[in-house]
Structure 1
Amino acid sequence: MASIPKTLGDYVVLPVQLPQLPSLAHLPAATHFLYVRRNAPKIATADDERSLFLANVPVDGTEEHFRTLFASLVGPGRFESITFEEERRRAAKAKTDNSDDGSENDSDDDDSDDSESDFDGFDAVLPRQAATLADLQSRKRKREGGHNGKARRDDSHKAAAKQLRQQATLPTTWPRSLRRSGSTAVALFADAKSVDVVLKAVAKAHKSAQYPEWPSVEGASSLGAPWLAGHNRQAYPNRESLRESVDAFFVLFNQQEAAAADLARRLRNVPDEDGFVTVTRGTTGGGGRGAPARQQEAAAMRAKQLAKQERQRQDMTNFYRFQLRERKKEEQLDLQRKFQEDTKRVQAMKEKRGKFKPEA
């Protein structure tokens, strides 16, 4: 057997003996290589000193697997938690979406990550018009510099919508989800000293050539033939549960369609701050697709918007003291100019009257 390198670049190599399969008992046990280094992200956090970055995570790896693995290396009580690559991406995506929407992140929602994993790709089949109009409304609220309180749903509405989405999600067809091959994770330990202890334990395992075994977690379904057999069973769910999921999905679809139609009616013919009118599609009385907003209605709305801006400008005309002084000075100059003009006009009339000679 070729010698196993201790390091690979910045990483420390941690060989892990995979369990022997009954069908391959005549072959030597396979070895999986984990690559470990101190966590040093681009954006530093408070937990970097007590965390390790793991690369080439096994496809069936779970938190219980790594808890047992590190317990076999350094004893129990040092490993705290682990965050896999998929969870970090979902958290980053949710944070980006919340910042784009101008809403706060609900950090007290314990099962937010689970709900996001269940709904991956779910919104892609919901009404496209609803998503487009919702995005348009959120961008208009940002330009106005405020939040529409009516647009924010209360907690009970959120809970009902979340329950409906969960019910509309189709049952999974795999008894156990697997991770992407070669994925990464960040393992968090009790303190910075535990990280040093783990790295020393890996170096000690290389010297003794006694490598830890990949643990078998109780309650987790096996891979291989049992995993595929479970997939075949779950690929044909109960008709009743399937019908309930489909019914819930169409209820959610119809709700968003109705919300999109209501939002389209409210956004129709409403010009933005630049005077542009968003053209939205509606429905006529006959049920067909409606035409864009009529030109007369758009012109009336534009005139109304200009009148509103003129009133706002007039309200701000005499708001400051220097504006009052300037206005009074202009009025005084205007009175002086009119007085001079009247004086010249009277003088001209007097001269003209003095030269008047009546006919004999």
Structure 2
Amino acid sequence: MALIPKAFGDYAVFPCQLPQPQSIAHLPVATHYLYVRRNEPKIASTDDERSLFIANVPADSTEDHFRALFASLVGPGRFESVSFGSERRRQRNSVADNGTGSDNESESDFEDLDTVLPRQAASLAELKSRKRKWEGADKIDHGESRRNAINALRQQSQLPDSWPQALHHSGSTAVALFADSKSVDVVLKSVSKLHKASPQQYPTWPTLPTSTLGAPWFAGHNRMAYPNREELRESVDAFFALFNQQESEAAQLAHRMRNVPDEDGFITVTRGTTGGAGRGMAARQQEAALARAKQLAKQERQQQDMTNFYRFQLRERKKDEQLELQRKFQEDRKRVEAMREKRSNFKPEA
């Protein structure tokens, strides 16, 4: 049996045995390797001393799994909670979207328009940059009750889950939080002692009744893939209500910012709606035709530039022109001879 290294870089290797199903009881027990080290994030926090960074967590990992695992290793009462990498990314994105102040919160409402793909979301980046320098104009009210209503619509617009349990991708990470920094030292010492024991003495990855993979997991997916029609209708209605509300706010912001000068003091002239839909349709058709003509002219220019780019291309072009002239000369000569022969055979009537 190959020796397992105690450490891999800054990480300590933590071997644990996976549960053996009855269908493959005759095969050797599989060993899974976790990689643990003290948590040292780029942005320090007060809980770093009592947290442990874990890499290569199993796909079906939950907080109950790690609680039972560390309880079997160092005893109960030392483990508090665990946060997975995907959950931390969602929290960071949520904090970045919501912001901390009132200005950030108001801007985040317009940033969320990208999630529902409104018609005017493409121009909001420019409008937001001008909005920061906008002084003396009325702002759209973003009260606490309105933000709560938007959050409620967001939650209601989410479609029901179609999988009984969310799985982590391969090589996922987690941060385990313990009672104190001494508990982290005890865990690392216990992990180093595992390499002196036999593989049969490795801790076993806990088996929980809530964690069902294989055929029951897919059966649950097939059952949850067809949600209740009433719940689905409410979710779709909430989505379109949020869509219409945020698109209306985007149009209001675009209208307010129409005559606001930019940082250089210029005002961007925009096409108004005066004149009816026919005028706007004709203008769009003219713009499309003009863009098409520019594209064709550009392609023709590029083709001409690449025609005589090399010397051999120039020689071949001249040679082709000479051959074409010779061919036309031969055709003209045959035509003249035919006309002469026809003229010589002409006999006027007496």
What TM-score does the superposition give when structure 1 sets the normalisation length? 0.67
- Aligned-partner Cα distance in 1 for 2:218–2:163: 8
Tell me what 1:253 maps to: 243
Q: Does 1:262 align with 2:252?
A: yes
Tell me what 2:20 maps to: 20
| Cα pair distance change 1:86/1:280, threshold 3 Å | farther
Task: Report the identity percentage.
Answer: 64
Q: Does 1:129 align with 2:120?
A: yes
Tell me what 2:170 maps to: 181
What's the RMSD between the two structures over aligned residues? 3.2
1:289 to partner: Cα distance: 8.4
Structure 1: where are the runs of 5+ without partners? 106-120, 292-360
Structure 2: where are the runs of 5+ without partners? 106-111, 282-350
Aligned residues between the structures? 276
Tell me what 2:4 maps to: 4
Tell me what 1:37 maps to: 37
Tell me what 2:186 maps to: 197
1:35 to partner: Cα distance: 0.5
8 Å contact from structure 2 (residues 81, 177) kept in 1: yes
Give the partner amino acid of 2:247: E
- Aligned-partner Cα distance in 2 for 1:57–1:239: 37
- Aligned-partner Cα distance in 1 for 2:215–2:113: 30
> More relative contact order in 1 or in 2 (CA 8 Å, sep 6+)?
2
Q: Does 1:211 align with 2:202?
A: yes
Tell me what 1:356 maps to: none
- Aligned-partner Cα distance in 2 for 1:43–1:225: 42
Tell me what 1:243 maps to: 233
CA shift digits 1:291-335 (9 cap, x unpaired): 9xxxxxxxxxxxxxxxxxxxxxxxxxxxxxxxxxxxxxxxxxxxx
| Cα pair distance change 1:100/1:282, threshold 3 Å | farther
Tell me what 1:93 maps to: 93
- Aligned-partner Cα distance in 2 for 1:178–1:188: 21
8 Å contact from structure 2 (residues 6, 192) kept in 1: yes
Alignment of 1:1-360 (within 5 A): 1-97=1-97, 103=103, 123-130=114-121, 132-133=123-124, 135-144=125-134, 150-209=139-198, 210-218=201-209, 220-278=210-268, 283=273, 286=276, 290=280
- Aligned-partner Cα distance in 2 for 1:132–1:207: 63
- Aligned-partner Cα distance in 2 for 1:90–1:289: 46
Give the partner amino acid of 1:126: L
CA shift digits 1:140-176 (9 cap, x unpaired): 24335x7988435222111111111111111121111
- Aligned-partner Cα distance in 2 for 1:64–1:7: 26
1:82 to partner: Cα distance: 1.6
- Aligned-partner Cα distance in 2 for 1:274–1:258: 28
- Aligned-partner Cα distance in 2 for 1:16–1:212: 5
1:239 to partner: Cα distance: 2.0
8 Å contact from structure 1 (residues 141, 147) kept in 2: no
1:76 to partner: Cα distance: 1.1
- Secondary structure class of the residue paired with 1:132: helix
1:255 to partner: Cα distance: 1.5
8 Å contact from structure 2 (residues 131, 257) kept in 1: no
8 Å contact from structure 2 (residues 113, 246) kept in 1: no
8 Å contact from structure 1 (residues 79, 189) kept in 2: yes
Give the partner amino acid of 2:253: L
What TM-score does the superposition give when structure 2 sets the normalisation length? 0.69
CA shift digits 1:32-78 (9 cap, x unpaired): 10001112223333222211111101111111111111111111111
